[in-house]
Structure formats: structure tokens, C-alpha cells
Chains A and B, each alone.
Chain A
Amino acid sequence: MRSAISERACRGRSMLHWIQYVRGYVTVKVWGYSVERLLNLCGNHDVLVWDIEDHGDYHTMHVSIAGFFALKPLLKKTGTRVAVMGKYGLPFFASKMWRRKLFVTGLVCCILFWCLASRFIWDIQIEGNFALTEDVLMDYLEEKGVHTAMKKSALDIGKLEQELREDYDLITWTSMQLRGTTLLIHIKENDMPVYDNRDKAEPDKGMDLVAEKDGVVTYIITRSGVPQVACGDSVQEGDVLVSGAIPVYNEDTTVRRYQYVVADADITLRYGRNLTLEEEVAYEEKCYTGEEIEIPVAGAGEKEVALRFRKVPYAFYDTSEEKKQVQLLDHLYLPLYYGKRTVREYEIVPKMHTEEEMKTLLQEQWRKIITTLNEKGVQIAEKNVTIKKNDKKWVLYARMQLEESAVKLVPTTVAESAEDSDQEDAQTD
């Protein structure tokens, strides 16, 4: 019972403390002729004072702000003096804060910033990827509109998980979670080899093999379809070499209908090609003088500012630029750049190639052409190279016979006519 009362009293006290804090109070030191009389007057004038302590020659007490102002005439009456020792409570705190406007503004802005920033995704982490690189997945996510600094609410995790599984056959399991402002993506890749059968699916209509270039057929072996040309035939670009429509004949050798297949054959076409390579004997060489200027560069978005206001004092110069993007977190870049631009002066010096140099230069060019041809699967059957030299330039003439499987698949064109003929047959019947 007693404890209940004291508990209530305690709560009452703490409540009172709050009210006192909110309304503000001061600690005052009172001394003089009769402090007791002052206390009586306080009581009579409804001035609340509390925590009155006797320190021998003076008393201390707490009094509310309103009470403190009401105290003045009473002090005069009783011949006591008062001095403020401390100010407490919200009104004083607020006025103190009011004087520190910038600080308070900063504090509020900071809290607002964090509240706002926590509504966005600031980092994306991908785990469990081996064959698919992080860049590929990041690009994919970017395409889907998932990127750093996006709103959390704009993210549909379930849908994204499903799309990721559907778009990559390699990914067999996905799990995404938002932890704070980080999007964690766990994926599992398929360890088993993936067989892609889509390309092998038979089309409804047949496919013809047609020539991609003019030339002579030097080799033909047909695996499916009806060959339209023989070895040694000249063909033009676009000519059908192997037809995908296999005719089925009636007894009277008229075509009853066509069976459609995808034409497949090994075909080599031979064609001639002439080539001219030129190389001038005289040339201009860039000689760097060793003079250079480094200019700091700052940029935001598309715009860029060089922090140099004088003109570059060189007649000829190269510029190279090194830029870095401002990075906040692992995947969070701001559209701000900084770096330096190096301007290097050069002089143009006219020079002449020696015979040796000319030879190597031309050979180098020639070798490059041959390599590219080989890379494309083109074989050189014959070649006839001549070099003409004069004082000004060397010219390389090459006449080559190239062999290449220059064919491509196109949908069968006979198809429609075949159908037509079928219909005509039906009509005549």
C-alpha cells in the first residue's frame, strides 16, 4: 500500500519535473534580512518555489521563469537580494539553439538527409556468379532499371528474380534481398552444360543456300537439298546453289508437290580479287620537343572545364586526358570528374624512308591483309604480286584467286510457286 503511494508520488514527481523542464526554471541564490518572509510572500502570491536549501548565510531555490519575474517586488519588500545561478529548461535551451541557427539547420538537414537517403539503394552486391561476370549482370540490371541510387519502392524483387532466371538459362536459382541500403543478389549457376536447340529447330519452310559473291564453284558436296549447280559452273551473287525444296514427282514426271528441307552443303567459290597497296617514300615525323603542360580538368556530366585561362603556346601539340569519376561507394559513382590534360608539343620533321623501311612497311601491310583473309576462312588459291618503285612512292599490285565458302541461307523461294502449282493441279483435276 505504502509502496503504491510512493510509486504514485514518484510518478507525480517525474511528471512535475517534465512540466518544470518544459516551462523553464532558474536556480537562484537568496540572501538578506528575512528569507522566511520572502517564502511566505511567495506562497501568498502563488509563486511556486521548490528545492529550497539552506547554506548558512544564503539560501538557494528553484523558481519558475514567471515566478522569478514576480519575485522582484517581493524582494524589495523583504529586503532580500537574489542572484541567478543557473537557467534550465526548454525555453533556455531553445533560445540557445536559436542562437546556433546554423548548427540546428545542419542537424535537421543531416537527419533529413539520412531519412531520405535510406529510401534508396546505394550498393548492389552479386554473389555466386562464376561464368557470368559481374559487369554482364550489372549491365543487365541497368537495362531492367535497377541501379544504384534508385528508389527502394521502385524495386520489385520477386519479378526481378524471375526475369533473371528466365533471361539467363545458366542461372538456376536466384535470391535477392534488401539489407539496409544494399541490394544483395545471390545466384546459382547451372553446373551442367547447356544445350541450345533453338537454332536447330526446323523451320516450317525450306531454306536455300545462295551465293554471296560472284565466282566459280570449285567444290560442292550436298548433304540435304537439291544442288542447282555443278563443279566448274560460274555463279552470280544471289544465285541459288542448293535448293531447299525437294520435288516429289508424279508418275508422268510432273511435280506433285515439294518437300521442304534446310539446304546443307559444303561449297567453295573461287573468285578473283585485285589489290593495290601504296606507300609514299616521303613522310612527316612527329618529334616531341619534350615541352609539356599539365592542365587540371574538372567536369560534371557532359560539361568539362579546363582550369587554365591562358592559351597553349605551341603551334602543334597532342593532348591526352586522364579522368577519374568521383566514387562514393563500390558501385556508386557521381557524375563528377576530375583529372588532368597533358599537352605535349611536337614538331613536324619531313623525312624519307630508306629502301629497307619501304620493303618492311609494304610487307607489313600485305601480311595484315593475308591474316585477315585467313581469319575469315578465305584461302588463297593463286596470287601474283608485283611491286612498282619510283622516287615518290612504291605501289604493290596483287592479283589473287580466292576460295571461300561464300554462301548463306535464305528462305526457299520456290515454295510459293510450288504451292501455286499444287493449286493449279487441283484446279485442272
Chain B
Amino acid sequence: MESLKLPKDTMLGAAIVTITGNREAFIENYKGILEYTTESIVLQGKNARICFEGSGLSIDYYTNEDMKISGKIDALRYI
């Protein structure tokens, strides 16, 4: 699979999380949203759940492909 040089996210269905500082997070390739409060946002990936913890979290936008979270991010955990 490595030799085909295909992007891993499409092949594995893995989520891509891009975090800028601790204020913004950009997530692609996820399945859905499980929980949303100002303290935590839990997303469902293909294999794992991604949990953002922090304060004043909000979703800038949310589509089928990608979403953006802003607020003060304290931790990112895979459950």
C-alpha cells in the first residue's frame, strides 16, 4: 500500500486533525459528531473517537467533509 503512494486518509479512512496553536482545530474525514458542549467536543472517526477538551469551544462550521473548531483547546484525546 505504501508503494502505491495513495493518500493514507482515503485508504485507511483516518481522520486528519490540524491544530493551529491552541485556538483552532481543523478536522477532516470524520463520521459524525457525538457530543458538543463548550467544554468538550467528541467526534466519531472511522476507528476512534476524537475528543477535544477545553473551554469556550464552538464550531465555526460543520459540513460532511470537514469542520472547524475554535476556542481554547486544552487536550486532544483519542478514545
Is A59 in contact with chain B by the CB < 8 A criterion?
Answer: yes
Q: Is the CB of A44 within 8 A of B64?
A: yes
Q: Please report which residues of chain A, range 45-71, place their CB below 8 angstroms from some CB of chain B when the two chains form the complex.
A: 46, 48-54, 59
Binary contact track A89-124/B, C-beta < 8 Å → 1, others 0: 000000000000000000000000000000000000
Is A276 in contact with chain B by the CB < 8 A criterion?
Answer: no
Is B38 in contact with chain A by the CB < 8 A criterion?
Answer: yes
Rounded to whole angstroms, the CA-CA distance of A6 and B18 in the bound complex is 13
- Chain A hits for B35, CB < 8 A: 36
Is A238 in contact with chain B by the CB < 8 A criterion?
Answer: no
Q: Is the CB of A46 within 8 A of B62?
A: no
Is A125 in contact with chain B by the CB < 8 A criterion?
Answer: no
Q: Is the CB of B59 within 8 A of A46?
A: no
Q: Is the CB of B32 within 8 A of A40?
A: yes
Binary contact track B16-27/A, C-beta < 8 Å → 1, others 0: 000010000000
- Which residue from chain B places its CB closest to the CB of A53 in the assembled complex? B58
Q: Is the CB of B37 within 8 A of A54?
A: yes
Is B63 in contact with chain A by the CB < 8 A criterion?
Answer: yes
Is B33 in contact with chain A by the CB < 8 A criterion?
Answer: yes
- Which residue from chain A places its CB closest to the CB of B37 in the assembled complex? A54
Q: Is the CB of A43 within 8 A of B63?
A: yes
From A40, A51, A54, contact of B60 by CB (8 A): A51
Q: Is the CB of A52 within 8 A of B64?
A: no
Rounded to whole angstroms, the CA-CA distance of A59 and B38 in the bound complex is 10
- Which residue from chain A places its CB closest to the CB of B30 in the assembled complex? A43
- Which residue from chain B places its CB closest to the CB of A51 in the assembled complex? B60
- Chain A hits for B37, CB < 8 A: 54
Chain A interface residue count, CB cutoff 8 Å, equals 17
- Chain A hits for B32, CB < 8 A: 36, 39-40, 43
Q: Is the CB of A39 within 8 A of B63?
A: no
Q: Please report which residues of chain A, range 27-41, place their CB below 8 angstroms from some CB of chain B when the two chains form the complex.
A: 35-36, 39-40
- Chain A hits for B57, CB < 8 A: 54
Q: Is the CB of A52 within 8 A of B34?
A: no
- Chain B hits for A59, CB < 8 A: 36
Rounded to whole angstroms, the CA-CA distance of A50 and B60 in the bound complex is 5
- Chain B hits for A74, CB < 8 A: none
From A6, A39, A50, contact of B36 by CB (8 A): A39
B39 shortest CB reach to chain A, Å: 9
Q: Is the CB of B38 within 8 A of A43?
A: no
Q: Is the CB of A40 within 8 A of B61?
A: no
A57 shortest CB reach to chain B, Å: 11
Is A42 in contact with chain B by the CB < 8 A criterion?
Answer: yes
Q: Please report which residues of chain B, range 19-77, place their CB below 8 angstroms from some CB of chain A when the two chains form the complex.
A: 20, 32-38, 57-64, 67
- Which residue from chain A places its CB closest to the CB of B36 in the assembled complex? A36
Rounded to whole angstroms, the CA-CA distance of A49 and B63 in the bound complex is 7
Q: Is the CB of A52 within 8 A of B62?
A: yes
A113 shortest CB reach to chain B, Å: 45
Q: Is the CB of B36 within 8 A of A49?
A: no
Q: Is the CB of A52 within 8 A of B63?
A: no
Rounded to whole angstroms, the CA-CA distance of A49 and B62 in the bound complex is 6
- Which residue from chain A places its CB closest to the CB of B26 in the assembled complex? A9
User: Interface on B for A, CB 8 Å cutoff?
Assistant: 20, 32-38, 57-64, 67
A-B pairs with beta carbons under 8 Å apart, 21 shown: A6-B20, A35-B36, A36-B34, A36-B35, A39-B59, A39-B62, A40-B32, A43-B63, A43-B64, A44-B64, A46-B63, A46-B64, A49-B62, A51-B58, A51-B59, A51-B61, A52-B58, A53-B58, A53-B59, A54-B37, A59-B36
Sample of 5 further A-B pairs with CB below 8 A, known A52-B36, A52-B61: A6-B20, A42-B62, A43-B63, A46-B63, A53-B58
